[in-house]
Amino acid sequence: MPQKSRPSGGASASAADGSTPADVSAGRPPTTPRRSEGPRVRPKNGLDRYFEISARRSTVSREVRGGITTFFTMAYIVVLNPIILTSIAGPDGTPGADVEGTVLPFGSIAAVTALLAGALTLLMGIVGRYPFALATGLGINAIVAVFAATQLTWPEIMGLVVLEGLLITVLVLTGFRKAVFEAIPAQLKIAIAVGIGFFLAIIGLADAGIIRPGNPLISFGVGGQLAGWPMLTFVVGLLLMSLLVVRRVKGALLIGIVATTVLAIVVEAVAGVGPRFGEDGENPRGWWLQVPELPDDVVGTPDFSLLGNFSLFGGFERIGVIAALLIVFSIMIADFFDTVGTVTAVGAEGDLLDENRNLPKSQPVLLVDSLAAAAGGAGSVSSNTTYIESTAGVADGARTGLASIVTGLLFLVAVFFTPLVAVVPAEAAAPALVIVGALMISQIKNLTWDDMSLVIPAFLTIALMPFTYSITNGIGAGVISFVLLRVAVGRRREIHPLMWVVALLFLVYFALEPLQQLF
């Protein structure tokens, strides 16, 4: 059915000729009318009717293209998740070891990561019917690895992840999660989308080595210069995608990723750059994650031995009830509000939100996302969540769950072709994140600028997401400051009751470190 209209502006807002940035990236002509302006679209067939393809001004080819783009943009997680989970040293100094010295098998993490990403993204496409893809959540997996290395065994921490996912599922079934989503004011929802735009851009620039954390806080390139073949590959890819987008070439981002990957393979074959981090230490001019080499073995035999390897209440026995509950709470808050931010940002990019900037029929989306958290713990690969990289597929034309089905199927194929997936270097996918970030930050024009009690919360939301590398931190700072400042200017009645609850939860979340030390 046609979507409701919403205020003009933003990453998906109409320009003078009626076009939107998402239209431009997807290759649609500038005269394409907004959905709310045209008559009700009659579906062409059962597939069209189920996914509302025509009603959302899309086509099957756009959905397929968008699904492929999303896969290539986030396929890195198949390699990165096992790296993160096995990189933090345990008490005996062994990388990836838990408190009892057990190390997770790298190959099994990769296989199960791809398996769950495929199955859950398929479920999102079929049940949620929106172009959201899911995989192991970055940030949460690092937190999980730290707890395993310092306090718990792998089965015990994964059991707490399962409990966290089940708790969020209860919140969805009771309607609480959707109510919180809708209680967040429009000013903060716009700020969330803008902040995620900057966040995506910084992720892309960091993946390519253009900016690097360290001392000083952020450095530019290598020694202040753009040095090395991988950086040049990224720059070429960024310029190519920019050119394709402004020329309104269909599949601009997908074409750019594939072309940049081919360039990277040629560069590596000629120059032999190697990885950025290897046995001999750091090579600042190397490839960040995957070295773009054609593998000797394209097909691998997947290892699913980690499936079901969790202890639901073992963590409570080892560290106590209160300490274990604090861990569950911290993971739950991160999961809960990362999804709020992601759904808002992806929906805004695809012009899928209503006039209140809420996602219509969001309950199935939130339910699948909640079950994904529990599934990630049950699979011993950490909590799974909706990926912000879904915006890349949306920017390339995706509007429905059909795109998620395409992405999910590709992840299932990747289970058996993990060596081939590793050919795409981060430097080839990173330009797409920067371009999508540029599309999303244009929503900043919709913010209210003449009321500082609204400007400051929006600014904190926007600034803290990229600077702290956390969607949750940005939302938390925005919510707390919004409640405080609206009270300060006598606008207490404009604060939704649930915003008080959310602000209190975030206060506890930001105070977790002293609370954990106390208990």
User: Is 392 domain-assigned?
Assistant: yes
Q: What percent of the chain has pLDDT over 70?
A: 88
Indicate the pLDDT class of residue 472, thresholds 50, 70 and 90. Answer: confident
What is the tens place of the pLDDT at every residue in 403-423? 999 999 999 999 988 777 778
The stretch 453-478 carries a mean pLDDT of 92
The listed range with the strongest mean pLDDT (117-126, 303-312, 322-331) is: 117-126
User: Is 379 domain-assigned?
Assistant: yes
CA angle 409, 413, 416 (to 5 degrees): 155
Q: Which has the minimum average pLDDT: 25-34, 47-56, 247-256?
A: 25-34
Q: What is the pLDDT of residue 6?
A: 33
CA distance 345 to 139: 19
**2 burial type by CB count under 10 A (0-12 exposed, 13-18 middle, 19+ buried):** middle
User: Is 398 domain-assigned?
Assistant: yes
CA distance 202 to 206: 6
Question: Does the pLDDT at position 9 exceed 50?
Answer: no
The stretch 491-510 carries a mean pLDDT of 92
Task: Give the mean pLDDT of the chain.
Answer: 84
Task: Choose among 76, 146, 27: nearest CA to 396.
Answer: 27
User: Is 166 domain-assigned?
Assistant: yes
- In DSSP notation, 374-408 reads HHHHHTTS--EEE-TTHHHHHHTT--SHHHHHHHH
User: Is 495 domain-assigned?
Assistant: yes
Indicate the pLDDT class of residue 364, thresholds 50, 70 and 90. Answer: very high
Question: Does the pLDDT at position 26 exceed 70?
Answer: no
Which residue range is the domain that position 57 belongs to? 21-211+301-410+440-518
β-pairing, 134-136 vs 384-386, is antiparallel
Indicate the pLDDT class of residue 93, thresholds 50, 70 and 90. Answer: low
Q: Which has the minimum average pLDDT: 281-295, 401-415, 438-452?
A: 281-295
Task: Choose among 389, 478, 469, 518: nearest CA to 71.
Answer: 389
Indicate the pLDDT class of residue 161, thresholds 50, 70 and 90. Answer: very high
Residue 97 φ then ψ, to 5° = -85, 145
User: Is 370 domain-assigned?
Assistant: yes
User: Is 227 domain-assigned?
Assistant: no
User: Is 421 domain-assigned?
Assistant: no
Q: State how many domains the chain has.
A: 1
Question: Does the pLDDT at position 491 exceed 60?
Answer: yes
Give residue for tokens 């106390």. 518
Entry pTM? 0.75
